[in-house]
Structure 1
Amino acid sequence: MPSHATPTITPGRTWVLLILGGIVTVFVVIVAIYVVNLPRPANSPGTDAGARPAPTESPAPEPVASPTPVVAPGTPQPTSCAEIYSPAMKQAFGDLVLNPQWTTEPGADVGDGADDPELVGVITASPHLTCHWASPTGPSDSGVDTSVVWLSPEQTTAVTDRLAELGYGCYEELSGLRCLTESDSGGALVGESHFLRGEVWLATRYTNAGPDGYTHDIVNTLWAGS
């Protein structure tokens, strides 16, 4: 059989191979470090398994402020029922009291100062202060409900037109417009008194009650000195 000679590597060649291998290793390490430190996109996951982008919170909605009614300077703005009557009127109701506890309970049998649904709708949709003269023990066949209502010019026209449409007797009085109606309903004397001046509407409905000069007293108290 022919014999084959075993290849030999000279010492010089060995050093060349070692140097080349070292260079390749260093190059691979440098490339790996560069790849690891590349910047990631803002929404890319992290390197940990299962990592997720941090959720962003939506800003809380801004609260919507309730509109504040704008009234002309000098317009009466009572904040309590005690402010709309003179001391004498507060003493004139006899057994009826102002805003007894039961009138503030949910579902209480009290009115807003008008019977017509359109007028009641304007009262409830507008800034208003409603006051009740009633029996301290509960609903009875006597009482007075009055609302002080702040209106826009358009609402004032709508209320005036509606009062005329309903056939209420209207006339000028105390620098404003006064409208009245009264009837006998099943043996009970029921009536309404409406007074409009500027941006204020005094809406009153009464049953078997109401001292003489009631509306005049409110007008003179609210517009005292004017």
Structure 2
Amino acid sequence: MFRSRSTIGVTTLLLAVVLSGCVAESATTPSEAPTSATPTSSAAADPSPTPEASETTAGIALPDDCAQIYSPAMLSSLEQEGLPLNDPAVTMLATQNAALLGDLETLPTLRCSWGAPGSVGITTNVTVVDAAQAAAIETELAEGGFGCGDQGGGTVCSIEQRGVSLDDVPYVRGETHALRGNVWVATSWLNHPLDGYVEDILATLGA
């Protein structure tokens, strides 16, 4: 798997966790603990590609659906864990960085989530970018405290946070971003290590 440096601790990028709904998307300060509110369905939970999803640059073409971004083995593994794919009640986003969220709203992207409202979840956006956009994303991640490193012909940046919710439930969460060729794989996770997950997506996409 990628062996990127990780930044441990609470940062302004990683905000409060909603254990009953995978994450909280509202802005909080680093000192605030996660709440237990359950999120409601929102447009962000729509797994369909954006209207520009059919556009491509030199490199990969954006897949039509989430099943196409995983190898059969990874897809089977996630399904066997009992994590539902694209539960509409999950509003967990692939990043809590405001600038990067703006990119995900405007660039060709496909959102995929695993899990139901609860204490375990993964959300990934596969996004088509050009060289200038990729460079800007990498700069934003590095300046935001992510540990970044060159891996497999691309860049992987990651960050991790451990804490305790208001209900005294320990949690671990983080983000991993991979940039290779014309693809950006942004993943946010809660209480679910990403062993081999991002690598599998890149290999399946041929990035």
Match of 2:55 among 50, 69, 76: 69
Deviations 1:94-152 (A, max 9, x none): 0212113xx2xxxx4423311111111111111100000013xxx11110000001123
Partner of residue 95, structure 1: 82
Quick check: 2:62–2:127 contact (8 Å CA) kept in 1? Answer: no
Q: For the structure 1 residues 82 and 70, does the alpha-carbon distance in structure 2 shift closer, same or farther, using more than 3 Å as the test?
A: closer
Mapping for residues 95-174 of structure 1, pairs under 5 Å = 95-100=82-87, 103=88, 108-135=89-116, 139-174=117-152
Q: For the structure 1 residues 97 and 153, does the alpha-carbon distance in structure 2 shift closer, same or farther, using more than 3 Å as the test?
A: same
Partner of residue 11, structure 1: none
Answer with 200-209 or 177-186: which moved more. 177-186
Structure with more helix by fraction? 1
User: Could you tell me the TM-score, scaled by structure 2's length?
Assistant: 0.67
SS in 1 for 2:132: helix
In 2, Cα distance between the equivalents of 1:210 and 1:219? 17
Runs of 4+ in structure 1 off by over 6 angstroms are: none
- Higher RCO (CA 8 Å, separation ≥ 6 residues): 2
Amino acid at match of 1:132: S
Partner of residue 221, structure 1: 204
Deviations 1:77-100 (A, max 9, x none): 211100011111122230212113
Larger Rg: 1
SS in 2 for 1:91: helix
Match of 1:205 among 182, 188, 198: 188
Unpaired stretches in structure 2, ≥5 consecutive residues:
1-50, 165-169
Amino acid at match of 1:142: V
In 2, Cα distance between the equivalents of 1:119 and 1:111? 14
User: Could you tell me the TM-score, scaled by structure 1's length?
Assistant: 0.61
Match of 2:153 among 175, 185, 197: 175
Q: For the structure 1 residues 210 and 91, does the alpha-carbon distance in structure 2 shift closer, same or farther, using more than 3 Å as the test?
A: farther
Match of 2:68 among 62, 79, 83: 83
Unpaired stretches in structure 1, ≥5 consecutive residues:
1-65
Say what the alpha-carbon RMSD is for the aligned residues.
1.8
Quick check: 2:124–2:187 contact (8 Å CA) kept in 1? Answer: yes
Deviation at 1:153, TM superposition (A): 2.6
How many pairs align?
149
